[in-house]
Chain A
Amino acid sequence: MRKLLQNPQALAGGAIIFSLALVALLAPYISTHDPGDPNLWAILLPPSSHHLLGTDDLGRDVFSRMVFGSRISLLVGLIAVGISSLIGIILGSISGFYGKHIDSIIMRFVDIMLCIPTFFLILAVIALIGPSIFNIMVVIGVTSWMGVTRLVRAEFLSLREREFVLAARAAGARNYRLIIRHILPHALTPIMVAFTLGLGGAIFIESALSFLGIGVQPPTPSWGNILTEGKDNIDIAWWLSVFPGLAILITVLGFYLLAEGIREFSNPRLKK
């Protein structure tokens, strides 16, 4: 862990994620105003000492709304990627460990899923079952497990040939023990990288959905829907679009840096 922090990318990414998590956790204390409280006397005010990032067309404080929005982003990211990782690890382990027909079936299924443009699939499903934070998390989760599946499968394919697996089998270990206790721990680092990368992706998808108006519904603030509301006034109130956009950019960047850092840290061949 200490060595991981010596990696500049991991350090930068980690710092971004850590501050973000802190903001989300302490949102009620950090925010300066009630995020849902309109103020007709303070409509579309530019950033000032009183309203750090200005106000929107209902006079709500953008800074406070973004602080609370970070909770949505992180929550959606964590749960969605948690779901997709779980599916990916289970399917990938089974596919890579058993091989043969089971592997062919699962991999063809992955191919089919990859052929479908995920974003439009999510759009269609959300339009069908209705937008809610829960639905968004689940739908993002069940449409983005293919990468993890392929990754875990590839790890298992090579690991299952190792002699310690044969030795454990010779000692009478059951298949699920071989998978969970003997092989899976070896695949943890690539899974961690995929998880971190996935977080950035999921947050991005949530923002995009909210921007299109079928994600998190107002008045619950999310970076995506703050951005949407901002686009109507983009010519007179630039702060409404720029800050949520920046927040999404920095968050996604933070996760990518962290993922890259973990990857470099765990791969001895990339070390200088």
Chain B
Amino acid sequence: MEKLTISPSPHVHSGDSVRRNMLGVCLALVPALVAALWFFGVDALVVILTSIAACVGFEYLIQKFILKVQPTITDGSAIVTGLILAFNLPSNLPLWIVVLGALFAIGVCKLTFGGLGQNIVNPAIGGRVFLLMSFPAQMTSWPKPSVVDAYTGATPLGLLKEGVKSGKSVSEIIDLPSTSDLLLGFCGGSLGEVMALCLIAGFIVMLIMKVITWHIPVAVIGSMFLFEGIFYLANPDRFADPVFTILTGGALLGAIFMATDYVTSPMTPLGMIIYGCGIGILTVLIRNFGAYPEGMSFAILLMNLVTPVINRYCKPKRFGEVVK
């Protein structure tokens, strides 16, 4: 009798893989990566390579020697974590701090919970928030990108916060960059957050490759725009205009690349929209009334924790529930 393979249906597969999705994210980050290198030069490259190497290295070492399981570094998720963590750091950050951030991201946020798919918070954001709280000085001294030479300065949101605190109205804060400067990246900030156009290009790449859906980024940016818009209309002297809001402080980086992390975001379209709006509203609240000038990381971190609850209550539209 012939030897036949037996398995239950389906007998075909789409060919999609974890690696393909992770490579999709990496590909989508390339425009922002190129911009980072253009603006911040070799410093940026060193931070990015250190972060990736540290994330992949820690994942390998911890899985191999502490957890004693087959290392999963080939799925590409550690590379994505390293890349996104680096995008959230200033390019002049001492490298040992970068390594420490990678250790926290991979070792604590990811592997403690069981590795890829099991973590509760986004590892890269966990790593960034850990560094922000542990090394506030180093984490908030930003080189202002300049193609010729970089000098240290505050971020647009930092300038805004300081200005408003000292009693100036928004229009009096003269150093604030214009919308076109923000789109093209002529402002201070983390590696990957400065050039808005590159991040939007990355969003389009991921949509075309079907790595993510539009729901979360649109909900985050839309809710930020609307919520900040209300504040702005009520008191334009005290609050920034909504266009400025969505182009600064890693709003796009967060909305497109970090809030959309599969593992820590909800599973249904409705859930994704609630989650996205939660991030948008929290970010605006933290920025306008909190101690920190920016709130994206904190907002995503908080909403990551709410995701299981959202999943519990936001069920997909079942077949047959629609009117007959």
A binds B: no
B interface residues with partner A (beta carbon < 8 Å): none
A interface residues with partner B (beta carbon < 8 Å): none
